Structures are given as structure tokens and as C-alpha cells.
A = this chain, B = another copy of it.
Amino acid sequence: MITLASDFGSPYPAAMKGVILQETDTRLVDVTHDLPRQDVRAAAFWCRETIPYFPPAVHLVVVDPGVGTDRDAIVIRVDNHVLIGPDNGVLRPVARRLSEHASDRLPRQDDRLEYFRYDYTEPQSATFHGRDVFAPAAAVIHDHGIASLETLDAVTSISATATVQCEFPSATINADSATAEGEVLVTDDFGNVITNIPGSFLTGRTGEMGTVGTTTARVTSTFTGVDTGEPLLTIGSHGFVECDVNHGRGTEAFELTTEDTVQITF
């Protein structure tokens, strides 16, 4: 199985699929091609929240604002999963999460991940390495076999420190637990505002009113815990505090978007 994720929209992903299908008849599954455009951190978030649900596969991730420069193509192996994409940090968070999702369900040391550089020859275009570099590489790696990755000529083992990091910012919770300050990691298609504040900040507060900027919202475990059109604070499916609206858009009610600072006070 090869999964595909990108910020390409339409129709560029089709060229990647065609290139792959010239080489292999394995199953292809789209993760999404609507990752936040050229936003490596937000793309890394969404990959982390979706790809670990898949069974072992080659996962192709192309969000690549540095396309055509000398940034490397890298491969990260985690157990029976392989991630391949540009060396800009987009693969790191999902790689770590995949490690945590292994059979023992415990976080592992980062050095359990194996890093490789994928050496490619001058591609046909300088602006579409998804088609000309990453898709062929995914097909080659898939057919060669994840377990024997290091015997591929194009692949060179490298250290984790040789690759670009991607760190999500940390939230802070004050000593009396009445205020948390964090950042909006992403917003979703429903207009839900997903922060980096741990969901545990809301534990035991169901029914209370919290203040976010000029908006006051009730803590509830479900959207329908408030009336239609009313704002709410909840622990989202990613485990973080979300600023949402029942049948509406949190982005509008809270006037928040990706990378905004968010402070919640009780």
C-alpha cells in the first residue's frame, strides 16, 4: 500500500498516481491533497493525526515549498512503515507518532526511528518533484521492500540530527490552572479551531464558562452541549482544546486562525 498526502489540490496528484502505477499495481490511498498550502508545520500536524491510523505502508508526503533547491529527499522508517518526502520537517511528527502507535503503545526513543537520504538524479522539472522525484521513489521503495530499504543504491543511512526538525509550540498553564496560553495549530474544514492546549486543561470543567479573547464559551463534551450557533470549548478528537461552534464556525466566532495566540481563562 502507498498512501499519498500533499498540498497540491487538483489535478497534480493524478500525475503522481500515474507515475506510481507505471511501476507497481499496489493499492493507492489518498490521505488528502488539501494539506494547508506550503505550510509545513500545519501539514505535519495533519499527517500526524491521520497517517498513524493506517496499516504498514509507504507514505508519500509532499508539502515542499523548497522544491528545486538543494534540500534533500528523505526517508524515515518506523517498524513496517516508511515515510518519504522533502527534508523540511513535515515527516518528523508523524514518524514519532507512528513509533508511539506500535504494539507496546508506549512512546519510544526518537532513535528507534531510522533516517535515510534518497539520492535522486536531476529531475525533469524544478518545480514538480512530487511527480518527478517522490512518486517514483515511493514506487521503487515499495517494490523493493520496506524491510530491505538499506540495500537500495539510492538510499543512504543518515542520523536524525542531519534532518530538519519540526517542533510544535508548547502551551503554558498557569499555577492555579485557571488560565492557559497556547497557539492555534490548525483550523479544519468545519471551522473548528484546534489549539495546542492539552485537552486535560478542560477536565472537570464541563458546564463552566471560559473566556477566549472577547468570547465566552461553555465547556462541553459534544457539539450539542450548547444551542445551535453558540460557541463551545471541548476536547477535540486530537486530544487538544478546540474552540468550536455548534452548527457553525469557531474561526468566525472566536476570530482565530492558524498560528494565532490563544488564551483561555476560567
Q: Is the CB–CB distance between A34 and B10 below 8 Å?
A: yes
Query: Any chain B CB within 8 A of the CB of A119?
Result: no
Select one of B67, B126, B189 contacting A235, CB under 8 A.
B126
Q: With the chains together, A231 CA to B183 CA distance in Å?
A: 30
- Least CB distance from A202 to B in Å reads 12
The residues of B that contact A28 with a CB separation of less than 8 Å are 29
Bitwise interface map of A from 187 to 200 toward B, beta carbon under 8 Å scored 1, else 0: 01110000000000
Q: How far is the CB of A15 from chain B (nearest CB, A)?
A: 5
Residue contact B21 to A55, C-beta cutoff 8 Å: yes
Which residues between 1 and 53 of chain A lie within 8 Å of chain B, taking CB atoms? 1, 3, 5, 8-15, 17-19, 21-22, 25, 27-35, 37-38, 46, 49-53
Q: A223-B67, A224-B66 are in contact. Are A131 and B237 (CB under 8 A)?
A: yes
* A35 partner residues in chain B, CB cutoff 8 A: 11
Q: A127 contacts which chain B residues (CB < 8 A)? A: 222-223, 234, 236-237, 242
Given B50, B237, B247, which contacts A65 in the complex, CB threshold below 8 Å? B247
